[in-house]
Structure 1
Amino acid sequence: MTSIRYEINDEFYLNDILSKEDIPSLIKYLNNPKLIGNTLTIPHPFTVSDGETLMESMKSISPKLKRLFTLRLCLTDELVGICSLSRSSNEDHIAELSCWLGEPFWHRGLMPQVIRKVIEVVSNEWDNLIRIEAHVFPWNKPSMRMLEKINFLFEATLRKHNFKNGQYNDGLLYSFIIEK
């Protein structure tokens, strides 16, 4: 599959390439306690070995089950964030949204643009995609506001849904319905 460049604005673009050259950027941004405190599956500290494991795992996943997009600076091609949609089978009409953005790029209204573009691209590829879900920790108010800004609706508090930092935490479920 050939990668396509999706322009976000004059400063940023998306593509679907993740390579070993991105490991220094992953380490740089993912070792931020403010960012990692709001993620569930990213190891901390994030190491070169974790980056290599991520690269290997992405090779084995079908693009019909997971689409991962890297957010990059136009000027340098540096990876500064990731947004992905994943589902359990080709027939599944539900996908889960995951994303992160390096702290220097927060508070610019960037992630709503990225998520809209990812949903647009993937909904055209996955004909049966109807529902997108996002899980947020209750303390992550900026992510809640960002999801609401792009018309995700809060649906439920999932009590003791996630295990993080040695304890079970509630999770908030948001959803977006694709009108076809």
Structure 2
Amino acid sequence: MLSKEDIPSLIKYLNNPKLIGNTLTIPYPFTVSDGETLVESMKLISPKLKRLFTLRVCLTDELVGICSLSRSSNEDHIAELSCWLGEPFWHRGLMPQVIRKVIEVVSNEWDNLIRIEAHVFPWNKPSMRMLEKINFLLEATLRKHNFKNGQYNDGLLYSFIIEK
């Protein structure tokens, strides 16, 4: 769960152009006000529609990333994966382990969940490799799917099917 104590870490990691260039909805620059809004909005979301997991350094409890699954109430068999990790923790194999565990936990809680989708920008090669490493399949290129930095960009749709 996110708390107000996490806002300095959110600001620290989310004000990195290398990280934020690969996210769709996180504002840049990320401010204290953005952090407060994010923390408060997470308190209002039903655990039946969204599960958010925080990644923390064991010794300090510092927030260093987030992984979440979200679903809509009218298509509860599908969830969308969103995640980010602070740059000092990249290339350590952490996020694949986290995503596997998040899928395991949430698929046991959400009985109808069978499909997980992830949207990736075409320039985000590390995320593509990471998703493929954990058996997500590239399904489609969604042309002019997202609006970021004043222009429409293509998106890549990856999916993972949960075999129950």
TM-score for the superposition, normalised by structure 1: 0.90
Between the aligned partners of 1:136 and 1:29, the Cα distance in structure 2 is: 19
Between the aligned partners of 2:73 and 2:59, the Cα distance in structure 1 is: 37
Deviation by residue 1:114-171 (Cα, 9 ceiling, x = unmatched): 0001000100000000000000000000000000000000000000000000000000
Between the aligned partners of 1:98 and 1:144, the Cα distance in structure 2 is: 13
* C-alpha displacement of 1:179: 0.2
* Matched position secondary structure for 2:144: strand
Between the aligned partners of 1:91 and 1:173, the Cα distance in structure 2 is: 17
- How many residue pairs align between the two structures? 164
Between the aligned partners of 2:27 and 2:159, the Cα distance in structure 1 is: 26
**2:112 aligned to 110, 128, 143, which one?**
128
Between the aligned partners of 2:65 and 2:48, the Cα distance in structure 1 is: 22
* C-alpha displacement of 1:174: 0.1
Unaligned 5+ residue runs, structure 1? 1-16
Aligned-pair Cα RMSD in Å: 0.8
Q: Structure 1 runs of 4+ off > 4 angstroms?
A: none
TM-score for the superposition, normalised by structure 2: 0.99
Deviation by residue 1:60-86 (Cα, 9 ceiling, x = unmatched): 110000000000011100000000000
Report 1:85-164 matches (<5 A): 85-89=69-73, 92-164=76-148
Using the aligned pairs only, state the percent identity.
96
Between the aligned partners of 1:58 and 1:101, the Cα distance in structure 2 is: 18
* C-alpha displacement of 1:56: 1.2
* C-alpha displacement of 1:92: 1.2
| Contact 1:156/1:173, CA 8 A, preserved across alignment | yes
Between the aligned partners of 1:33 and 1:175, the Cα distance in structure 2 is: 27
| Contact 1:160/1:169, CA 8 A, preserved across alignment | yes
Unaligned 5+ residue runs, structure 2? none
